[in-house]
């Protein structure tokens, strides 16, 4: 998805994460983080253009990893990718920013988030099979300018069948691969996918 000029995205203050315990890579004590993050008043919306340049905020990004029969969905981000810094990199995660359109007043903040996850995935791929959804980890990487302003919430969708087709032109070379096959192409992956691959057995 391309960044709209006036796009607003859901963020939390980085100090919230620091108070819980800053980490690099994956954190698997999910409940402790989610219980502090999804408190009314903690997540807020701000202009994406501002958030991209301000490390005192973390944009919340659902990062959905899909698996079926021991193989994991992966793809290469084409030239139409909205995040130009990630073009050409292989990814095992589907996801994106959470916008105010997801702020349904009848739902709590956490339910609103889960609704946004479903919408983000549907924008990028069409999942033509039943699946389970589990939040497996949180993902943080402050080693580069992209990571410094984002916090990933890693979902694991287990698919009944490997039936997924792309909905966006930015997705190319999509396939299902084993962990061993992914390890062989690890150096072509975006940083978040490399970090997730290292912990994939626990995801």
- Using one digit for the tens of pLDDT, what is the confidence trace for 18-71? 999 999 999 999 999 999 999 988 999 999 999 999 999 999 999 999 999 999
Q: Alpha-carbon distance 53 to 48, whole Å?
A: 9
Lowest mean pLDDT of 68-82, 87-101, 143-157, name the range: 68-82
Contacts of residue 152, defined as CB under 8 A and 6 or more positions apart, other chains included, come to 61, 62, 63, 93, 95, 138, 139, 140, 192
Identify whether the C-beta of residue 124 lies closer than 8 Å to the C-beta of residue 116: no
Phi-psi region of 14 (alpha: psi -120 to 50; beta: other; left: phi over 0): alpha
Among the four given CATH numbers 3.90.1150.150, 3.30.160.160, 3.90.79.10, 3.30.70.120, the one describing domain 8-198: 3.90.79.10
Task: Please state the domain extents for the chain.
Answer: 8-198
Q: Alpha-carbon distance 188 to 203, whole Å?
A: 21
- Using one digit for the tens of pLDDT, what is the confidence trace for 103-132? 555 567 888 888 889 999 999 999 999 999
């Amino acid at each position: 998805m391309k960044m709209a000029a006036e796009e607003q995205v859901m963020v939390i203050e980085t100090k919230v994460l620091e108070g819980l315990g800053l980490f690099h890579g994956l954190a698997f004590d999910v409940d402790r983080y989610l219980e502090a993050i999804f408190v009314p008043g903690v997540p807020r919306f701000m202009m994406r253009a501002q958030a991209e340049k301000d490390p005192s905020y973390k944009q919340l990004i659902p990062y959905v990893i899909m698996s079926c029969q021991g193989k994991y969905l992966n793809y290469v981000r084409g030239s139409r990718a909205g995040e130009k810094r990630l073009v050409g990199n292989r990814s095992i995660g589907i996801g994106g920013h959470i916008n105010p359109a997801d702020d349904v007043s009848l739902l709590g903040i956490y339910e609103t988030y889960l609704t946004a996850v479903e919408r983000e995935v549907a924008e990028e791929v069409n999942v033509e099979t039943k699946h389970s959804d589990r939040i497996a980890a949180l993902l943080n990487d402050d080693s580069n300018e992209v990571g410094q302003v984002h916090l990933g919430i890693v979902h694991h969708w287990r698919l009944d069948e490997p039936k997924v087709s792309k909905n966006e032109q930015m997705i190319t070379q999509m396939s299902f691969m084993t962990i061993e096959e992914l390890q062989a192409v690890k150096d072509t992956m975006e940083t978040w996918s490399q970090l997730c691959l290292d912990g994939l057995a626990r995801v």
